Chain A
């Protein structure tokens, strides 16, 4: 598991490399205008430029590390990640206890059902006007919208996860003298973890979609902001460099989630880590 399977990695790269090669060919042959589709090389160049620090390294101004990450891309990525993380923590953090209560208690579920089912289908981006009215400009409206985006996937999966907990675990725990709070924390929560993690995964995806939209509202940095800014200047290569960065972060998060899954579900049948 820890050893990289070079063969699989290599065969997984065949398709992307072919696509990039064809793309480069189309651009070199001049079939499309660079304004509409810049060549992959131009995008890569722009990406490196975007990544590198704006100013030359000056030893007296601070540490080398701080300089290395002072590029625009790093700041944008950090800005977007910050909003995603805070929004996700608020949305997911609220959804988890509510989901456990709704999953475990039919009366609470019945009381909440209509409200949840009416609010759930509203796309988080539809909250844009309200987010601005309520929270003004800057990070708060963006975080608010991301929280909404993260809330529902975690909520719904937690409810389903808790509802499918085999009643025999509850009986065994009650037989051992477990109180209601012990049942919640030590039995229902871990038993529902596979479902909750699936919800977290969906929530992270949704949060990323919304962070790009939300950054069109008056924030001074972030990948969404930068893509939009590049569009205004018709820097198509920079638009694509920004998009590519989002893809890379998504890939990194997915790998991270897989590792977390494997660790948290190491007890689960059919998972060998």
Chain B
């Protein structure tokens, strides 16, 4: 196995809201080797996005530490490219400018940016959209641009926060396949947050199932089905059933909590 690249050590994250403390993450420990495709799976409120944001450096842990290649994460940086569910493309920039923005910040010269952006547009099937603004693109196309924007920086790690959650099922499958192709080609380490069991099994080398509040690691399993995986195959469905049960337990706790809170209100 490849050497460990991302290390999450005894991470706790506590939010204070209205005088009340909510433990979002409790005692999370994860070692993620280079090139692994990890899915964080769980219902809303399980802290999977909180954990991803901590790795991204947007919201640091309350206690514990996250290191990337041995260096502690203290803030966001281009070595950990983030793809958001809401795309987060800059609407005032064209597709080309969006993808080239990170390179421009890096100080790369215009001609090189132009070439690199051109390559990425080709890779993601976006060449015809170079001069378009995000408002003219469909959700799937926007997410392709967002992925290209992160790939432009050639960061070794990609963090993806339910990136395909807002897309229709067909576009979603399309982008999943695309992502797998890119991942196989570029050998990135990917942490991918999802609440879709099928998506997790389809994509991941490893699935980390998280519990609802406080967020802890419920199960950490390796998926050794051969790729490309067939969602209708027996082993796929067996795994789906097993994970489904675990996730539904947590979903039930989430639901009960919501009912309790509604009763208090």
Q: Give chain A's interface residues, CB within 8 Å of chain B.
A: 168-169, 171-179, 182, 186-187, 190-191, 193, 266-269
B91 touches A268 (CB 8 A): yes
A171 touches B135 (CB 8 A): no
A177 touches B93 (CB 8 A): no
CA of A267 to CA of B93, assembled, Å: 7
Closest Cβ–Cβ distance, residue B248 to chain A (whole Å)? 30
Closest to B80 in A: A175
Q: Please count how many residues in chain B sit with their CB below 8 Å of the partner chain's CB atoms.
A: 26
Residues of B within 8 A of A178 (CB): 105
A169 touches B88 (CB 8 A): yes
Q: Which of B86-132 contact A (CB under 8 A)?
A: 86, 88-93, 101-102, 105-106
A176 touches B135 (CB 8 A): no
Q: Give chain B's interface residues, CB within 8 Å of chain A.
A: 56, 58, 75-78, 80-82, 84, 86, 88-93, 101-102, 105-106, 133-135, 149, 153
B105 touches A269 (CB 8 A): no
Majority DSSP secondary structure for residues of B touching A: loop
CA of A149 to CA of B81, assembled, Å: 45
Can you report 9 residue pairs joining A to B where beta carbons are below 8 Å apart?
A175-B58, A175-B77, A176-B102, A177-B78, A186-B101, A191-B90, A266-B133, A267-B91, A267-B133
A175 touches B81 (CB 8 A): yes
A182 touches B105 (CB 8 A): yes
Q: Which of B76, B84, B91 contacts A174 (CB 8 A)?
A: B76
Residues of B within 8 A of A173 (CB): 90, 101
> Provided the pairs A176-B102, A266-B133, A267-B135 are in contact, do residues A191 and B92 lie with their beta carbons within 8 angstroms?
yes
Residues of B within 8 A of A190 (CB): 90, 92
CA of A194 to CA of B82, assembled, Å: 27
Residues of A within 8 A of B82 (CB): 171-172, 175
Closest to B84 in A: A168
Residues of B within 8 A of A174 (CB): 58, 75-76
Residues of B within 8 A of A168 (CB): 84, 86, 88
Residues of A within 8 A of B153 (CB): 176-177
